[in-house]
Structure 1
């Protein structure tokens, strides 16, 4: 991103100034600003993201790049236009679901509620889990079948041959329990994982950090990533700094 030579401050300097002023505010002002942000639950996040994507109809599904059609309150992938081939679950392939890039199981297992009763227990008994589950920076529209096949599998890159979903380059290795995402989504995946680990104090393995730091460098942000980050910051009250740092 560029800025005019006539501007007094660059975007990075303005963010530093804003952060400095924020830290100088009394606690009551922080509380008021936080309460102005949208409630962060999975249900609320999905509703807000639906409106965000509907207002940007040129956007496509996250992994496969399929155009999205809107039918009332439903988002439907245009499978023909993107050359998607149904692997097994035709019903689920015909709808769009909100995918957690870092799966709920990954951050859920790091909380006591998950050990006591899995996701249902966390949703019911742990407000902190609800905040993480509804973090919009970690949610993207995906073809339901791909979302279901991926489940809570971790991402990797082993140069697997594509084609299991037609022209969609997502690969799921059920035996190895790994998913190889298309190059088009790797940068955003990396920045979501790094953000989630930092924002919510979640553990990543050394192998994961190495992979995602590499993808973050190799696959820079798109214009839509920057616009999406700005929109979510207005709705949720915070940026993904790993995106924002590349949007200057």
Structure 2
């Protein structure tokens, strides 16, 4: 009985992930991240990514920073220092430059014409709330060790070296940042320098997965349909790691096809698939209930389907 219960729970989890609907745009991703991932983190837990600040949610996906909660002092941009922004842990500039679309016209061109870029831009495993000013200062810099110099943001320990174009996040998130970066490079087949690999591998070892990071992974997986294997321990990054490129198998997340409408089934009609140009009979055709409603064309008999240029599906018995 115990094994049966465990197996049933495992099946339930797998089914839940299979039915997940990842966001298809960056705008949608921010709202989903607020409502389904970080909904209770504004005043509790780890705080924002770079400074550990609490915030108050405002609007669909924004927030107002509580500077006193983390001892934050504005460096230069007061407006951005007061608001939450959504940081791409691996910047869009970095992953975009490894796509042909960026060479053809920059980020706008990628958003318009490259579904893989849109998937990367909206990937929730790469998004985290951040103080807007620090997000802006980090810009598209790679992560690194920033030695010396005065603190830029009061008690916030994240440092940015504008001359060397490098950013070093606070210790509390170095492991999280490393594992999120591994995920993006592995899933989307990106190329990482040897120096960056060595640094992030060190952070991964020095800062193990926390309780919150596991919860973050669990919540995000329910939306994305898969886990970050570098958080769950299913995968480890080694020097020269060859990305599995799982994010490139399907250009965009797709919804599971819905069965034909009850009206169609009740009429015992023949269903044609506009994409495949195949038709399916209500009996003895396994794919009859798998044609998405948007692709259906209904026929009263086989002669009508054939006249419209359709042929019977090969798996019909």
Shorter-chain TM-score range? 0.7 to 0.9
Could you tell me which residue of structure 2 aligns to residue 84 of structure 1? 72
Greater gyration radius: 2
Contact 1:162 / 1:169 at 8 angstroms: preserved in 2? no
The partner residue of 1:50 within 34, 38, 44 is 34
For 1:34 and 1:117, the matched residues in 2 are separated by 35
After TM superposition, the score normalised by the length of structure 1 is 0.83
Could you tell me which residue of structure 1 aligns to residue 86 of structure 2? 98
- Render the CA deviation track for 1:89-125: whole Å, top value 9, x for unaligned: 0001110000000000110000011001111110111
For 1:67 and 1:39, the matched residues in 2 are separated by 25
The SS at the match of 1:195 is helix
The partner residue of 1:65 within 52, 58, 64 is 52
More helix by percentage? 1
User: Over aligned residue pairs, what C-alpha RMSD do you find?
Assistant: 2.4
Could you tell me which residue of structure 2 aligns to residue 26 of structure 1? none
The SS at the match of 2:87 is strand
Contact 1:162 / 1:170 at 8 angstroms: preserved in 2? no
* Deviates most, 159-168 or 174-183: 159-168
Contact 1:226 / 1:244 at 8 angstroms: preserved in 2? yes
Aligned length: 224
For 1:148 and 1:233, the matched residues in 2 are separated by 28
Instruction: Specify every segment of 5 or more residues in structure 1 that has no aligned partner in the other structure, as ranges.
Output: 1-6, 23-28
* Post-superposition offset of 1:229: 0.4
* Post-superposition offset of 1:230: 0.5
The SS at the match of 1:54 is coil
For 1:39 and 1:150, the matched residues in 2 are separated by 25
After TM superposition, the score normalised by the length of structure 2 is 0.66
Contact 1:42 / 1:130 at 8 angstroms: preserved in 2? yes
The SS at the match of 1:63 is coil
Instruction: Report which structure shows greater RCO (CA 8 Å, sep ≥6).
Output: 1
* Post-superposition offset of 1:38: 2.7
